[in-house]
Chain A
Amino acid sequence: NAGVTQTPKFQVLKTGQSMTLQCAQDMNHEYMSWYRQDPGMGLRLIHYSVGAGITDQGEVPNGYNVSRSTTEDFPLRLLSAAPSQTSVYFCASSAAGLAGSGYEQFFGPGTRLTVL
């Protein structure tokens, strides 16, 4: 049971390049989310999904796209990288559950992205 996995661990892009950050979980969780972490700002939600085929925007969605074709995978696409997207990106997953069941979000190890 690998939990939540992310690739790559590190990435350097030039302004204007595109790339996809990969996220996968093997816990059969319905909910998956992408956060970015910047110094002094905590973690901010980019996009999230409540199940395959369903996605929605979070607090800072501009410049990012997501799709959820399977329960396991939730890739994050940077369409045209900008220096402001330099950050650490975390993927997380949790079970849907009902009131009274576990709500814990499990985080992946993160991807450190630098945009030059």
Chain B
Amino acid sequence: GENVEQHPSTLSVQEGDSAVIKCTYSDSASNYFPWYKQELGKRPQLIIDIRSNVGEKKDQRIAVTLNKTAKHFSLHITETQPEDSAVYFCAASMREVTGGGNKLTFGTGTQLKVEL
């Protein structure tokens, strides 16, 4: 099955700096890579996702890059703010065209702390 590794497990940055979280996956058939943000005691919420036919996607201060050859993808947060403090999870899925479902394999999470 799919295996997703995520680094670092904790990340502390100064407000305004950039943060980068990296993930690798094992199954070359995976084609969908979402990133979730989870605040303490809350549910995971999707912040950005990328599909295997795209190398990079950006949404305001958040961007994700995908390298299919190396089987890794990264989350980039620029101009970090205190409200970015949370746990971030990467995930991978072999999303099929029809049927099959959407089984996500998650990384173990990164605790991001943005310090004033």
Give residues in A with beta carbon < 8 Å to B: 31, 33, 35, 40-45, 48-50, 56, 58-59, 90, 94, 96, 98-99, 103-105, 107-110
Q: Is B69 an interface residue (CB 8 A)?
A: no
Contact (Cβ within 8 A) B102 A31: yes
Q: Is B44 an interface residue (CB 8 A)?
A: yes
Q: Which of B6, B46, B99 contacts A50 (CB 8 A)?
A: B99
Q: How near does chain A come to B86, taking the closest CB pair, in angstroms? A: 14
Q: Which of B32, B42, B97, B101 has the most CB of A within 10 A?
A: B101
A107 to B43, CA, bound (A): 6
Give residues in B with beta carbon < 8 Å to A: 1, 6, 9, 32, 34, 42-46, 49, 51, 89, 93, 95, 97-109
Contact (Cβ within 8 A) A98 B103: no
Q: A98-B97, A104-B46, A109-B43 are in contact. Are A43 and B89 (CB under 8 A)?
A: yes
Contact (Cβ within 8 A) B1 A59: yes
Contact (Cβ within 8 A) A48 B103: yes
Across-interface contacts of A42 in B (CB, < 8 A): 6, 89, 106-109
Contact (Cβ within 8 A) A48 B101: yes
Contact (Cβ within 8 A) A104 B103: no
Q: Which of A33, A48, A90, A96 contacts B43 (CB 8 A)?
A: A90
Across-interface contacts of B45 in A (CB, < 8 A): 107
Contact (Cβ within 8 A) A31 B101: yes
Residue of B nearest to A90 (CB): B43
Q: Which of A35, A41, A107 contacts B108 (CB 8 A)?
A: A41
A104 to B104, CA, bound (A): 11
Q: A42-B89, A42-B109 are in contact. Are A108 and B43 (CB under 8 A)?
A: yes
